Copies of this chain bind each other. A is one copy, B any other.
Amino acid sequence: MRDVAAEAGVSFKTVSRVVNAESGVSPNLVTKVEAAVARLGYRPDQRARLLRRSTSAPATIGFVMVDVANIFFSNLLRGIEEVAMSRQCLVLAGSTEGVADREQQLIETFVERRVAGLIVVSWGAAAATLRSEMRRGTPVVFVDAEPEIPDLDIDLVRSDHRAGATAATRHLLAHGHTDIAYFGDDAAIFSSRLRLDGFRQALADAGVVAAAHRVVTGSHSHHEWTGIIDRYLAAMPRPTAIFTAQNFVTLGAVRALHHRGLRDSVAHVGLDDIDLADAVTPGLSVVPQDPRDFGRRAALQLFRRLDGDSGPGVRQVIASEVIARGSGEIRPDATR
């Protein structure tokens, strides 16, 4: 800026005025300064600008998720980006990989960058930091998982994990299954816990006992799940139906069933939709989620807070129904 001022033969304050298109600068100087800016390829430093005027429009929001390579989270990010873009706001995003330290570290880093607000898929690791940061006035919107922060009125967007799992399980029960296996993410994770609860509840409501060995949980890549489920299916007696409670698990299960030639004989419903679900044979029945929409909702809520809304916390818990595409409608007596 100093250089531009020297080049144009004016004070740097005048350059500031021209760059910000403020009124009250003679057209003569405006052209001179603009020429100098173009000649030197000068761009104002937003960091300094934001440092000075702390009261300005929000410039950056932070998004903490588990893994951007998972289509669920990348679509969440896309929804957030979409809204942020319309507000001239950038998104700093980071994957925690479910590692507590990493979650803590990411949130601290974002806070130190003075993001205007945070959207967080929290596994609970950074509850204390988040809590104190929220007290200091940084708006935080939680997505997918509900944090365990007592006494705090929070904004939240998530699907109704329990109802989704219940719907999927009831769907299988309604098609005559009583021996249903559950494969899902680690039960320490909020959403997984609720999904497992929903599964168990639906079975209990139907008077069916859930055998312990029919519940398999853990945090794995979808290739690892392929192997795990493949081996599981080798043991007899097989379950007549399976419910997969997360998209990586679902991918693994489809591949394992395919590999064993069981896609026509073992019923399968997944929670969260996947690409090609309607192009496999039979089509994969799922309880879908719309992560892009979740992202949009979360971002809109965040901006509402940034615009000054200080009403009570808004909890959006979104339910959805089974999409029947074939795999969930297989009967227990199908060729085995």
Residues of chain B within 8 A (CB-CB) of A114 are 45-47
The smallest C-beta distance from A94 to any residue of chain B, in angstroms, reads 7
Partner of A48, one of B46, B51, B102, B135: B51
Q: Are A92 and B92 in contact (CB under 8 A)?
A: yes
What 1/0 mask marks residues of chain A from 26 to 54 whose CB sits below 8 Å from any chain B CB? 00000000000000010111111011000
Are A92 and B94 touching (Cβ within 8 A)?
no
Task: Using A46-B113, A81-B95, A274-B275 as known contacts, list a sample of 19 further A-B pairs with CB atoms less than 8 Å apart, ordered by residue number in A.
Answer: A41-B135, A43-B112, A46-B112, A46-B114, A47-B47, A47-B113, A68-B77, A69-B75, A74-B77, A90-B92, A91-B93, A91-B94, A93-B93, A222-B275, A251-B275, A255-B276, A255-B279, A274-B276, A275-B276
Is B43 a contact partner of A108 (Cβ separation < 8 A)? yes
Nearest Cβ distance between residue A251 and chain B, in whole angstroms? 6
Q: Can you list 14 residue pairs at the A/B interface with Cβ under 8 Å?
A: A41-B132, A43-B111, A46-B113, A47-B50, A47-B113, A68-B68, A68-B78, A69-B78, A222-B275, A254-B279, A258-B278, A274-B275, A276-B276, A280-B280
Report B-chain residues with C-beta under 8 Å of the C-beta of A11: none
Bound-complex Cα distance A74 to B113 (A): 23
Query: Which residues of the other chain, B, contact A46 by a CB distance below 8 angstroms?
Result: 109, 112-114
Q: Which of A73-88 contact B (CB under 8 A)?
A: 74-75, 77-78, 81, 85
A45 and B112 contact, CB distance less than 8 A: yes
Any chain B CB within 8 A of the CB of A292? Answer: yes
CB of A332 to closest CB in B, whole Å: 23
Residue contact B292 to A276, C-beta cutoff 8 Å: no
Q: Is the CB of B94 within 8 A of A81?
A: yes
A93, B93: Cα distance in complex, Å: 7
Binary contact track A264-276/B, C-beta < 8 Å → 1, others 0: 0000000000111
Asked whether A67 is an interface residue with its Cβ less than 8 Å from the other chain, the reply is yes
A113: chain B residues within 8 A (beta carbon): 46-47, 90
